[in-house]
Amino acid sequence: MNNQEVLAFTHSSAVIFEPNHYHQAIKDDRWVEVINKKLVVSESNNTWTLMSLPANKTTIGCKWVFKVKYFSNVTVEHFKARLVVKGYTQTDGIDFHDTFSPVVKLVTVRNLLAIAMSKRLLY
């Protein structure tokens, strides 16, 4: 294992690596398939619009984040890839306010509502 690969999990004799960079991921067909599916879904959901860059403006970069998800019995559930923006390249007041969107999991909402009900905070 080199210093650019992260050991995700060891099960039996199989070792699955989570790549840190796109150029590492494209060497494995499993990650290429996940990337392609993610791009197709994003395009079909109209996640972004291809536009010309205005004069005197620079782009905000992005990177792929890779994760192996496991079942509770330690077998691989699926491979996950996300395309994320490099927010640290943004400038406050120029492009900072346009890209933040909070996300909450439904499980979290359910748990909060259950706690509120048990404490009689909701009627």
Instruction: Say what the pLDDT of residue 23 is.
Output: 93
Q: Which domain holds residue 14?
A: 5-118
Q: pTM of the entire structure? A: 0.58
Assigned domain for 123 exists = no
Instruction: Tell me the residue type at 122.
Output: L
Instruction: Say what the pLDDT of residue 3 is.
Output: 47
For 15, residues 6+ apart whose C-beta sits below 8 A from its C-beta are: 7
Count: domains in the chain: 1
Residues of the chain with pLDDT under 70: 1-15, 87-102, 123
DSSP letter at 88 equals G
Assigned domain for 79 exists = yes
